[in-house]
Amino acid sequence: MLLALILSAVLIVWFYGFEARYGSEYHQSAFRWIWRAWNGDTDYEHGPLFPLVIAGLVWHRFDLLKSAVSKPSGFGLLVVFLGVVF
């Protein structure tokens, strides 16, 4: 279970941070491309606020989210890992 979580995190970081598949000539990573797309010319300058808002919402409702889990299962991590691979 821990191995699936670590491998999923590594694959996600690799794909979004280092794999160059985006941009006009496919030479930018997904993170770099989306950071450059969030600008005043495209009217998406509010984009960098989304991760902060999401983190704030999770932090605000963390106790409620934590109590919603009845018993953990490794099956979900397996599904996430398979989704990352595909």
Residue 64 structural domain: 2-85
Distance of CA 8 to CAs 30, 31, 40, 53, Å?
17, 17, 33, 24
Q: How far apart are CA 45 and CA 36, in angstroms?
A: 10
The reported pLDDT for the residue numbered 60 is 95
- 57, 50 Cβ separation under 8 angstroms: no
pLDDT surpasses 80 at 10: yes
Compute the average pLDDT of residues 26-46: 82
28: β partners? 22
Phi then psi for residue 18, to 5 deg, are: -125, -30
Q: What's the number of domains the chain is made of?
A: 1
**Which one has a higher pLDDT value, 19 or 25?**
19
